[in-house]
Structure 1
Amino acid sequence: MARFIRSTAPRRIACAAAVALPLLVPAVGQARTTDADVQRGLRRLVAARGGAPGAVATLYRDGRLTVLRAGRADVRRRGAPTANQHMRIASIAKAFSGAVALHLVQEGRLSLDDTLGQRLPSAPAAWSAVTIRQLLNHTSGIPDYTKSDGFAESATRDLRAYVSPQQIVGFVRREPLAFAPGSRYEYSNTDNILIGLIAEAVASTPYPTLLQQIVFGPAGLTRTSFPTRRLSLPAPFIHGYVVSPGEAPQDVTSAISPSGAWASGAIVSTPRDLSAFIRADLGRRFFGAAEQEQQLSFVRGSSDPPGPGTNAAGLALFRYTTRCGVVYGHTGSFPGYAQWAAATADGSASVTTTLNIPPPKGALLRQLRSVQADAVCALLGR
């Protein structure tokens, strides 16, 4: 989620939220990046001014998961984040809704060229020509509800209140399209809310059940869930913080209802499960080769926050072209959490990174992207 909340209590939460192709060959003489380099990068992210209390990265290759850790999962206790602790995965949940949609396409219950008017008649008439494809690659032109006055006002009244997906769409349903559908790229959290509603309508099944049947179960994600009314995380968990230089970290783990993110960002998982998911997604566990060919058709566009290297947008997935090679995945932004998960094109290798602060800006974001790029190099042995 981007710019997830605006509120005065606490304002820092609002500011913090504001809710894998051919490999490239390194330059001759360039030293190979190692796991130790990634580990040092995580430590620097923790030690930096305004840095995260904790950081964890996973590298899955050759059938083995390597876990690199720094800092603390809970500032009150010793111990760095682990691969088995729960966390909010934020907008990586969009890759899950994309997997659900592409599964329904494979089954013939949905087409990428179907329109909102056909599949969700309750949507505003002005949006009726928008296609499923355009929702999935953020070329729909539908306004991002997280930037709306209605969403801000709702959050200001009560950060912890339940918000239904219909209410979420209602925040922007009177707004016109920002541009003609398909004419350009613009990241919008509303797109995946609509994907979730369409999936429910097409399958006549609640979206949480679809996630379990299509994604969680087949991928063996035993520590992944979709809470919308529960604010606390299952134990054990990585605490999420807002950090301001010179002040003690503020724990925001349960400060905001995840319902306001719904299919766009409400999933809770662990680094280990997230690694398994992104490998299953690229490994065609949820849909076939024809759907993946469409998934990996890209337009110019950056994930939010931007991932390492040069970004391009596919269907609920981004391509990250780094100095060492190409991986495919998604980033995530939520109060207290900065997430990234990516895998190689065949799903055989994956990388995840987690910071327990919202995505940083400026120099610290550049530092994070550098660590993520190093992690890709280490993953690919480059």
Structure 2
Amino acid sequence: MPIPPRRRTPFGPRLGAVSVFAACLALLSPAGAEAAARPAPHPDQALQQQLEGLVRAPGGPPGVVAVLRDGRGTRVLRAGVADRETGRRSDPNDHMRIASAAKAFSGAVALSLVDRRYLRLDDTLRERLPRLPRAWGSVTLRQLLNHTSGLPDFAQAPAFAATLGTDPRHRFDSRRLLDYVADQPLRFRPGSRYQYSNSDNIAAALMAEAATGVRYERLLEASVYRPLGLRHTSLPQGYRMPRPYLHGYDVNPPSPAEDVSEALSTSGVWASGDIVSTPVDMTRFVRGYAGGRLYGHDVVREQRRWIPGAASEPAGPGRNDAGLALFRYTTRCGVVLGHTGNTLGYTQLIAATPDGHRSLTFSVTTQINQAMKPDLLQELRAVQENFVCALLR
């Protein structure tokens, strides 16, 4: 469908599922005079050792890639392999599933449209998507983006799980995913509490389509990919991964690690977790997104109205607070903004300073979350915090 006639175009030149480290490493340093005489390890060496520790941990990922970028350049640290069968080393240009970090992309599309007055943060589902259940009608775009909507999570619906269990590569109609929970009421009064839900970003993407008459895939291209120079990022509907890619694994000792990179169709997550990208592209994205390059100061200010203690899934480093499709991670060394994600075979963290000048992209090739691997998640978050400290020092 053609882009509707422009008022203030949302594509102007100003745009810039089934579902883990530090400058401060005192615990690695022996005490006493003997320690004082021994030279301290290079910071990157200490970070590298921590990546290797994650790979060796029980249930740990076969591969880890971390990209740190600041005003002095880019550092890439990696451990393990991209492909256990061939032994190939990972590369920052390898493709990967970014899981719920894709929610930042649907947030970017929606907020870009708010900036250009195609949408308002107070627009409701009743106004924009009247076909959805009447009981959901008062939910606003703002509540979708900060996960205070109360929408039931379609990914937890028994019928959705049954379809996926019978045919993991089933081709879903992505725009009908909310039908799986259309018979359910809201979980709570909209705006009254925080609860992370995959349904929120599906509804936000549908609102963007309704407001513009343009398919979400095209909105992504015009509002995010092109302005930020993302050349290897896509929203596929099938299960195939573009080559080359970081293989994702299901790691549950004592069973051997199983390659699950192409086990699932991504049509079942769409705007809540479908995107495939690379560490290089995700670095570009988070610097622009967290840095507020995609919309004006008024929208940035609204995006950064934080809900204290509201965590991403999985939780990121330090204390987590939720904004609009963005999280604030307050570490012992300072603050970064970003998003996390996990899905079968992959766990992601993307983060940048509020000005976008320094960034961290941290990708591991197995699923790590509180429900499945709580101890490993705790270790992962500690390592991620040490990387943030290395970035900010």
TM-score normalised by length of structure 2: 0.88
Aligned residue runs from structure 1 range 300-319, under 5 A? 300=308, 301-319=310-328
Asked if structure 1 preserves the Cα contact closer than 8 Å seen for 2:230 and 2:281, the reply is yes
Q: Which residue of 2 aligns with 1:69?
A: 78
Give the counterpart letter for 1:91 in structure 2. S
Asked if structure 2 preserves the Cα contact closer than 8 Å seen for 1:35 and 1:375, the reply is no
Could you tell me how far 1:35 is from its partner in structure 2?
2.6
Give the counterpart letter for 1:318 in structure 2. F
Asked if structure 2 preserves the Cα contact closer than 8 Å seen for 1:37 and 1:374, the reply is no
Please list every run of 5 or more consecutive structure 1 residues that lacks an aligned counterpart in the other structure.
Answer: 6-16, 18-25
Q: Which residue of 2 aligns with 1:46?
A: 55
Give the counterpart letter for 1:242 in structure 2. D
Could you tell me how far 1:41 is from its partner in structure 2?
1.2
Q: Which residue of 2 aligns with 1:252?
A: 260
Q: Which residue of 2 aligns with 1:362?
A: 374
For residues 242-290 of structure 1, the C-alpha deviation after alignment (integer angstroms, 9 at most, x for no partner) is 0111222101111100011100000000011101100011222211111
Q: Distance in 2 between matches of 1:220 and 1:27?
A: 36
Aligned residue runs from structure 1 range 321-340, under 5 A? 321-340=330-349
Asked if structure 2 preserves the Cα contact closer than 8 Å seen for 1:71 and 1:79, the reply is no
Q: Which residue of 2 aligns with 1:179?
A: 188
Give the counterpart letter for 2:392 in structure 1. L
The answer to whether residue 128 in structure 2 is matched with residue 116 in structure 1 is no
Aligned residue runs from structure 1 range 183-198, under 5 A? 183-198=192-207
CA RMSD of aligned residues (A): 2.0
Asked if structure 2 preserves the Cα contact closer than 8 Å seen for 1:117 and 1:123, the reply is yes
Q: Distance in 1 between matches of 2:120 and 2:163?
A: 34
> Which one of the candidate residues 304, 309, 314 is aligned to 1:296?
304
Q: Distance in 2 between matches of 1:321 and 1:124?
A: 38
Secondary structure of the residue aligned to 1:311 is strand
Give the counterpart letter for 2:272 in structure 1. S
Secondary structure of the residue aligned to 1:171 is helix
> Which piece of structure 1 moves more, 255-264 or 157-166?
157-166
Q: Which residue of 1 aligns with 2:391?
A: 379
Q: Which residue of 1 aligns with 2:8?
A: none
Could you tell me how far 1:166 is from its partner in structure 2?
3.4
Q: Which residue of 2 aligns with 1:107?
A: 116
Aligned residue runs from structure 1 range 62-101, under 5 A? 62=71, 64-101=73-110
Could you tell me how far 1:165 is from its partner in structure 2?
2.5
Q: Which residue of 1 aligns with 2:11?
A: none
Q: Distance in 2 between matches of 1:150 and 1:34?
A: 49
Secondary structure of the residue aligned to 2:163 is helix
For residues 65-124 of structure 1, the C-alpha deviation after alignment (integer angstroms, 9 at most, x for no partner) is 211000011001223321100000000000000000010001011000111111111111
Could you tell me how far 1:163 is from its partner in structure 2?
0.8
Q: Distance in 2 between matches of 1:296 and 1:212?
A: 24
Q: Distance in 1 between matches of 2:290 and 2:320?
A: 17
Aligned residue runs from structure 1 range 126-205, under 5 A? 126-205=135-214
Matched length: 359
Q: Which residue of 2 aligns with 1:21?
A: none
Which 4+ residue blocks in structure 1 deviate beyond 3 angstroms?
30-33
Matched residues, percent identical?
A: 49
Q: Distance in 2 between matches of 1:264 and 1:294?
A: 21
Q: Distance in 1 between matches of 2:50 and 2:225?
A: 31
Q: Which residue of 1 aligns with 2:351?
A: 342
Highest Rg: 1 or 2? Answer: 2
Q: Distance in 2 between matches of 1:199 and 1:166?
A: 12
Q: Distance in 1 between matches of 2:322 and 2:72?
A: 28
Closer, same or farther: CA 45–107 of 1 in aligned 2, 3 Å:
same
Please list every run of 5 or more consecutive structure 2 residues that lacks an aligned counterpart in the other structure.
Answer: 1-16, 30-39
Q: Which residue of 2 aligns with 1:9?
A: none
Asked if structure 2 preserves the Cα contact closer than 8 Å seen for 1:271 and 1:352, the reply is yes
Give the counterpart letter for 1:191 in structure 2. D
Asked if structure 2 preserves the Cα contact closer than 8 Å seen for 1:33 and 1:374, the reply is no
For residues 306-335 of structure 1, the C-alpha deviation after alignment (integer angstroms, 9 at most, x for no partner) is 111110110001000111111000001110
